[in-house]
Structure 1
């Protein structure tokens, strides 16, 4: 990615790479659409506005407070995605701000979201974060605990399960992500076919700037891309 490229040019490049990856799909239909989430952690509001004006409709933030601060001055209509770890003491603020919470990694958190959503008179859309690679450094529920968690989420009234998120290990060879992404797609399909009572399974969120093309090839329909759009994060330069 050239430093001379503008944000709109980078977005166009990412979208072209996504389209190419869809064409390379071998085990799923290549006409399944893929939504691009622009990850704006530590990037200023002006850069976000430029991306939205270039066609971005989905904004991903890692931190609740940063999203709240930016939303006050963004002056654009977008769909907000929480992709970072959510602490229970931030749940009510997250439910107020975000359209889709990707990072639900425990039943306790799902229940707290349910309580907050009920108070707001809202049904909160969520994804369950699965730690399929069993990385101790990452959040997410283990596969062995997932079925029980899904059954309990199905009993809640103010959350709607819409799918899953996973984060691949930071492999030196990005191709090593492929088996994990394929296994995650298989899991997504299994749950989708079971059709839990209260769920609306439609999203598989996987793939970031370094591995999103492989994720798309293996079935992702939400990709979370920051650096490939905005460049390196601009710490202490939020512009909020």
Structure 2
């Protein structure tokens, strides 16, 4: 069990202060999460709604829960009372649903919009035009119970470091463009848009992601060991 503590210390020693570590704990037992928690880790990411709900009920209440899987609209209500950040939002329809459930819980729920940067059919996400269309729409501006705090994306699953780097740089460029539009030109100035987080990088590529500008990394197997 001490392996988790050691892995966490090793990873945190490599992370700059401005980078948030999300410990990806899907399929891992509560005991493993408690070891990470007792080692000072407070931010955990889960992929499955039911598993997230069960762990949230069982574990300390100061944990920050991130939902990092592909979220179905009908399941938003189950995590809306407590979730701290929803990664991977890729449609206006899903934003509407999150907004609706956040309102019922008298909350504003932070979200990341997922951008499609990989050369893979299995990945989800918006392209740059779809991103701009959402952020500039009146419909989006009227969603008072969500807040877009950043973008996220997943690189292609490949050993080709040059390709991964290009994809990360592409996402950083899109992020910078949106930040400029909202801050300097005021074109996207709206209360529910405050871009400060760029989430990219996982166990295999997080160091490269940080070099390319990531401020949030999602690390599972390098902390908890490979999933069986």
State the TM-score, normalizing by the size of structure 1. 0.86
Number of residue-to-residue matches in the alignment:
219
Question: Aligned ranges for residues 113-132 of structure 1 at < 5 Å?
Answer: 113-132=98-117
Distance 2:112 2:77 in 1: 17
Change (3 A) 1:78 1:175: farther
**How many Å separate the matches in 1 of 2:80 and 2:96?**
12
Structure 1 residue ranges, 4+ long, deviating more than 6 angstroms after superposition: none
Distance in 2 (alpha carbons) for counterparts of 1:220 and 1:114: 26
Q: Any idea what the Cα deviations from partners look like across 1:4-62, whole Å, max 9, x if unmatched?
A: 9711110111123334xxxxxxxxxxxx7101000000101111010011111210011
Are the counterparts in 2 of residues 10 and 229 from structure 1 also a CA contact under 8 Å? yes
Higher mean C-alpha displacement, 98-107 vs 150-159: 150-159
The CA distance in 1 between the partners of 2:40 and 2:61, in whole Å, is 11
Q: Higher RCO, 1 or 2 (CA under 8 Å, sep at least 6)?
A: 1
SS at match of 1:202: strand
Supply the distance in 1 between the matched residues of 2:176 and 2:2 (Cα, whole angstroms): 38
1:1-240 aligned at under 5 Å gives the runs: 6-19=3-16, 33-133=18-118, 135-152=120-137, 153-195=140-182, 196-198=189-191, 199-234=193-228
User: Unpaired runs of 5+ in structure 1?
Assistant: 20-31, 235-240
**Cα offset for 1:175?**
4.0
Contact 2:119 2:156 in 1 (8 A): no
> Where do 5+ consecutive residues of structure 2 fail to align?
183-188
TM-score (norm 2): 0.91
The answer to whether the 8 A contact 2:128-2:174 is kept is no
